[in-house]
Amino acid sequence: MSINVLNSNGKVTAEHLKKTAYLYIRQSTLRQVFENTESTQRQYALRQRAVVLGWPTERIEIIDCDQGQSGASTGEREGFQKLVAEVGLGKAGIVMGLEVSRLARNCADWHRLLEICALSGTLILDEDGLYDPAHFNDRLLLGLKGTMSEAELHVLKARLRGGILSKAQRGELKMPLPVGLVYDPLQRIVLDPDKQVRNTLRHFFETFRRTGAGWATVQAFAKEGLKFPRHGQAGSGQLIWEPLRHSKALDTLHNPRYAGAFCFGKSRTWKDPQGRWHCVNLPREQWAILIKDAHPGYISWEEFEENQKRLQHNQQARAIERQSGPPREGPALLQGLVICGKCGRRMTLRYHQRGGRLSPDYVCQKQCVEECRPLCQNVPGGVVDDALSALIVDSISPLALEVALNVQQQLQERLAEADRLRRQVVERAQYEAEQARIRYMRSPTTGWSPTRWRRSGTISFDNWNKRTRSTKNNAKTPSGQSPKSRRLKSWS
């Protein structure tokens, strides 16, 4: 291409040639960087255009540090920020880009760059031609190109979003599943074929059904020495067994997938002017899609809703709105249940040492804490608890014996379930140890030569030892006893 064609109407002057020519190169994603190599070569080829226009090679600067960054904003594009700064300082004679979308896909950023170029007398060059933002016609054309570039990004997002919503409305959108649910060969959601995982999750929901609190469920798992599964590194298919944490328990209880429901649009994300992403969870009424009984689950939808009500009921941050709270530590009989008869607020507990034992006091101190007013009232808890205990004892009938036997049977069943889960842990460890031993013995590099064993079989041998030690450790209960040695004492 000749200089006369490029330098139409004499837009490039000697004043422009004294300044630096900047070539801006960008690809939106790292995948495009590795796969769309032809586009990258076309962008670097624009350097020859500047040479044809008269810029010496040493005065052409290439800015390509924004590879893999989106052009929708300037928050994380250090190269674009540097380019705008150089133009504003009057150091740039021309700015080159393969097309407008390489420089910016945001009209605000694009028009800001045009304004600075017009004030500093900087030219703009793309694959179609050479423009001077100080001229009205050129600036109008560049503005239209920037608007079309931003509209193109909007259309692409709308098409992708529409396809995702279409599949989500049918419940066919493939999404990451929580532990305990997997896709079968026909891409249907089924329960995990691992029996230990299924039994652990069923035991988890049964424990919460019995205790009524997430923290109590975590305590029960710790007391029984049970571990909870979680996914390993994404794509590895590995399961990691670890002690149950309170956050994991709450995530499991709040996840509607365990109730067999498909949901989409539970949260809303946005990006602030600084380029930081924010995410907020939406109430269930604002979820985009909710399909009940879409796939098998571990609990019913009715039980899931009951669990949500119970968790909300137990939240300590909503103490004023709660009618009653979960049982907590301490000997007080009415903890979380007493309401002040004067103001109607919930009363809290204070413990004191009286007669060598803890004695509770029921205190209404909400006004004292928030408004610096005197205590509403302070009721000695010992008197109230003694009266309540006497009332309970007087109401006991011969039917209490049958109730006690039923409770003993339930405790026996709980211990048997915990022992069964621990046996499955031991069986899994034994299986992995056996597989490690077989791999070690069958390894082609592992022979009976001591030298070869030291050189090639060390890794397999260490893995075998590791699995064997894991089997021995899992064969013990938390108290260091065999499960068969523990027996529940009969009630006297």
CA atoms within 13 A on the CB side of 415: 15
Instruction: Show the tokens assigned to 212.
Output: 């009524």
User: Distance (Å, rounded) from C-alpha 457 to C-alpha 466?
Assistant: 14
Cα 387 to chain centroid distance, Å, stands at 50
Q: Helices (DSSP H) in 24-135: which residue ranges? A: 30-35, 37-53, 78-88, 100-103, 107-120
233, 234, 231, 211: which is closest to 222 by C-alpha? 211
The answer to whether residues 74 and 107 touch, using CB atoms and an 8 Å cutoff, is no
The answer to whether residues 146 and 104 touch, using CB atoms and an 8 Å cutoff, is yes
Please confirm, yes or no, whether 485 is among the known catalytic residues: no
Output the CA–CA distances (angstroms, integers) from residue 93 to 20, 53, 55, 63, 97, in the order listed.
Answer: 5, 11, 9, 15, 14
Q: Catalytic pick from 8, 28, 470, 485?
A: 28
Q: Helices (DSSP H) in 356-398: which residue ranges? A: 366-371, 381-394
The answer to whether residues 73 and 106 touch, using CB atoms and an 8 Å cutoff, is yes
So which residues are the catalytic ones? 28
